[in-house]
Structure 1
Amino acid sequence: MATAAVAAAWVHRVQDPGVLCPLRTVTGIPCPLCGGTTVFLELGAGRPGQAVLANPVALTGAVALAVAPLGLGARWWGSSPKARGGVLVAALVASELWQLVRLGVLRV
């Protein structure tokens, strides 16, 4: 993952493709996962603070996926499906609100 992030950050610096989210491109409204690519690129460029600001929920999910094979995913799978669904819905709602504020669609 780290090698891919560094390579992607280098390619992005040379050739910026612009906004990659189809929903945001068409409507101007970000999806809950907007900023996920930016998280990856900022980590690859060595800017973890910027990665957190891009989408803290996507960053947390990426870290969870990276460490899950180390046995830390057992607790997640040991919880009830209802609890897992609730956590995922809450994370997506929090992520969407973060993106709406971050991109100026929603003002607080």
Structure 2
Amino acid sequence: MREFSVPERLGGFGALVAVAAAAWPAVSARTGAALPCPLRMLTGVPCPACGMTTAAVAFVRGEFGAAFHANPLIFGLAGLTVASGALVALRAAGVLGNPRPWSSTRRRRTGWLAGLLATASWLFQLHRTLGEGTT
């Protein structure tokens, strides 16, 4: 069995998020279930992923402004999902070879990028939350 690269795995996660986001409104309406943020419930401080469920549902409905307002990281996940879908298809067709392992430098840089994105998302969520309190 072929190993999947990190971008392919993240894209696969994005595909699962899209399926869950399409199904979630029906599940929520029938059961009344909600997905609250544990950090925000305990401390009042949002986490970097706060709003991601709302953003994913809005995105699959085509409500891109609402998706951006809830959590702009959904656009990066959606783009990665589309790109990795094409990548997996090209590899399955034999157009591209199997992925090569990442060097330690590339893994470290990717880790830093992920950390910076999480920090930017957290700052966005803090700004959004503070903005809610002033209106």
* 1:36 paired residue number: 52
- Counting only pairs closer than 5 Å after superposition, residues 1-108 of structure 1 correspond to structure 2 as 1=15, 2-13=18-29, 16-18=32-34, 20-71=36-87, 80-104=106-130
Question: Normalising to structure 1: TM-score of the pair?
Answer: 0.73
Paired amino acid for 2:48: P
Percent same amino acid at aligned positions?
32
User: Deviations along 1:29-51, whole A, 9 cap, x unmatched?
Assistant: 01111111111121233312111
Maintained 8 Å contact 1:39/1:55: yes
Question: Normalising to structure 2: TM-score of the pair?
Answer: 0.61
Name segments (4+ residues, structure 1) moved above 3 Å: 1-4, 10-19
Give the number of the structure whose alpha-carbon radius of gyration is greater.
2
Q: Which has the higher contact order (CA 8 A, sep 6+)?
A: 2
Structure 2 residue runs of 5 or longer lacking an equivalent are: 1-14, 89-98
Maintained 8 Å contact 2:21/2:57: yes
Quote the Cα distance in structure 1 between the aligned partners of 2:56 and 2:32: 14
Number of residue pairs aligned between Structure 1 and Structure 2: 104
Quote the Cα distance in structure 2 between the aligned partners of 1:13 and 1:82: 42
Quote the Cα distance in structure 2 between the aligned partners of 1:9 and 1:81: 36
Structure 1 residue runs of 5 or longer lacking an equivalent are: none
Q: For the aligned residues, what is the CA RMSD? A: 3.0
More displaced 10-residue stretch of structure 1: 45-54 or 63-72: 63-72
Quote the Cα distance in structure 2 between the aligned partners of 1:71 and 1:31: 31
Maintained 8 Å contact 1:8/1:44: no
